[in-house]
Amino acid sequence: MLLILFLAITQLSGKYRILMAIGVLASCFGDVFLALPITNSFLLGLGAFLIAQLVYAVTYFQTANWAQVTHWRKMLVAVILLFSILMATYLLPDTGEMQIPVAIYLAVVCSMGIAAFTSALPNKVALGALSFIVSDSILAMSFFKTPLPMSDVLVMASYYLAQYLMVKGMIDYQGEQSA
């Protein structure tokens, strides 16, 4: 993650440098909180990732233009909405005291995905957002339901891929804008 943060800081400029660095840094804090054997580590991690997702959503919504969104991206927005509803229906009854924070996070990560797919940003950003949703879904299933085989590997692989694609996509976008 530090390499991805380094990329964001050194390869982006202006508001995108600040926003993406905040998103990656908040994610780093989320990683640390989830790894710590302390009370409420999951809730602290969720809070840090909530900040990251909000920052990413705000960043991506800045270039949103529904009229120029391709048909396949509109279809994927519908899939993200449907998937989020299904995940909420399946997971929330088993989240206990964390039902409200998990529901809020689910809505925000869904918004981040929609923002990425309705933006004028490169496909890398949208694929990164989708990979983040996959990572979070596997993590939530493993935490609140039954762990999937190799869930740790799947979560981390899709998570790092997501962060890299989103930062690299923003770098590409800034390069296109300045050309």
- With respect to residue 142, please indicate whether it lies within any of the assigned structural domains: yes
- With respect to residue 35, please indicate whether it lies within any of the assigned structural domains: no
- With respect to residue 49, please indicate whether it lies within any of the assigned structural domains: no
Q: How many structural domains comprise the chain? A: 1
Q: Full-prediction pTM beyond 0.85? A: yes
pLDDT at 61: 95
Burial class (CB in 10 A: 0-12, 13-18, 19+), 99: middle
- With respect to residue 147, please indicate whether it lies within any of the assigned structural domains: yes
Span 91-128, pLDDT tens digits: 999 999 999 999 999 999 999 999 999 999 999 999 99
Cα–Cα distance measured from residue 4 to residue 23, given in angstroms and rounded to the nearest whole number: 11
* Segments forming the whole domain that contains residue 72: 54-178
Instruction: Find the angle CA(31)-CA(35)-CA(41) to the nearest 5 degrees.
Output: 90
